[in-house]
A and B are shown apart, each in its own frame.
Chain A
Amino acid sequence: MGQRTSKLNEDIKLDHDLLRGPRHLTFEEKRILANRVMKKHGVAGVTLHWVNAISWFLLIFTGAALLSADYLKFAPDWYLDMMNGIFGTKHAMLHFHIAVGVFWVTTLLLYGVFGYKNYLLDFIKHDLTIDKDDLKWFPAKAKNLAGKLSHYEMPPQGTYNAGQKAYAVVVAFSTVTLMITGPIMAFHIGSPAIIQWSMMLHFLATMSVFAGVFVHVYMAALFPEERPAFFSMITGKVNELYAYLHHYKWWKEVKNDEHVFFAKELKKDGIHLSELEECKSIKDHVVHINNIEGNEL
């Protein structure tokens, strides 16, 4: 086991040290972390993100053209003409909007029902709940953007930072609103008063999401620091340097799980911790994790 454990030893030494808390990294440490990857999103998450994104894109572009009363609409007349031209008739556009909407609602419901245990609960618990560290993040991020605060001094963040969480909350509420108000209008359910309120809420929900979408897209696709997040929505993975700098709490959680798992696997292989005399840091580390997690090995 000599070579295997000594390589593990190297890796784990660094992890063990970094697990104590965020700190400045040396160039060598950065290089090591940048070359390691961590799983951030499962296939289900990546698929849902893009189905959702494409649906939103189609629905916003047709929805904006369906609204034609002067006092309610926000798209200019030439846009309405253009969309009518693309779809041929307004009826075709309306049917398209409803069809995409039904597809979108069905997909989300299927995810909600079948992924309730594995994804939805987790999403609500981790990604929609804003904690104390998150509240400290907003003023810190403002300072960080102004160049007055480094990454290392930022309040540590979970899988998503507070800004992403706040937007996720808006999107979640809007999504539920749209899933209810859309069918009410499309299938003429309820009295005119219900449909009138539905229209207003449909608009409110859409615009709340739309107002934030520029930040979302810019941050993910164009902003250099967050770019790994964009690629994680394709590969499902991020490099550990990004995870360490931007989502320390999450990085720590994953590392802890990884090392607990690792120690169990070693035990399965018949390697007991007592045999790892020469690999002192693994043992230290596992003991350290046991203390945190209260796990028994």
Chain B
Amino acid sequence: MKRTSTYITCVILTVFLIFSCILAFLAGSVRFRMLNTEAVLPVVTEQQLANKVSNTLQTEFKAAESASGIPASVYADAITPDKLEPMIADGISNGFAYLRGDTAKLEIRHDFSELDDQITAFFEDYAAKHNVIKDDTYHEAVKTAKANAAERILSACDVFRFQSLADTGVLKTARTYIPWAGYAVAAAFGTVILFILLLFFANHREPETGFYWIGTGALIASVLLLIPALWLKHTRWFDRFAVKTDHTFAAVTGYLYGGTNAVIRTAVWSIIAAVGCYLIFGLLHGIRRRKHTIRHAKH
């Protein structure tokens, strides 16, 4: 009877341990992977975002030629991948810092002085060829062209579209919850430790059985995370996202696949830990059985 009640107590505690482990996994993934700039930045090179942004901008400036009258070649030097890459990286760093509440403003550090000079030179050339008087209208046109070009480039470098997310209020909502991620991680890990201790307490007569239940909890929590993560990865599920802009698609899917890989790695380590717990349980249980057998043989 006692064995049955201990068993049921352990089952209940293990269920709680499993959910605590899943919450700890998720909270830890958000805090240390999804919001960690260092973990996200490799997506820039892995997904060749600078090349993709450069191609997008070239297409956009080419398409705008007929409306603006400014040849795409005027912008060519300012939108090379090597010039865009630092801006993309800065946009990502700043965006995630904003999300974590580390900075109050969404911005991308940039230097468009070279681009401004090229636009000015083009207008000067145009004005000279067409005898355009350099009045207020002329200077306003130059100013507008520079502002439009800068806006277009900065918008393209915002590969995760933080500005759009901020404009629609998504970031504001996220910013109110994200600072709690750290506390959530601490709380989740604290709960995991609490249930581990409770499992040992429930099995204080046979402490090695505690390792069995802990191993079971870790194994099931890992499997429950591993199965969907493997499914997402092997079906290339995020590729179904209908994001039209090439670089945004690459950034978002690259980021999500990176997160999925991190979950898979953590789950695999957790399974190894679970197997370790089972081995400890088997070893200690075997020793206890041998001691019993020897003691009863003596009697």
Bound pair (A, B): no
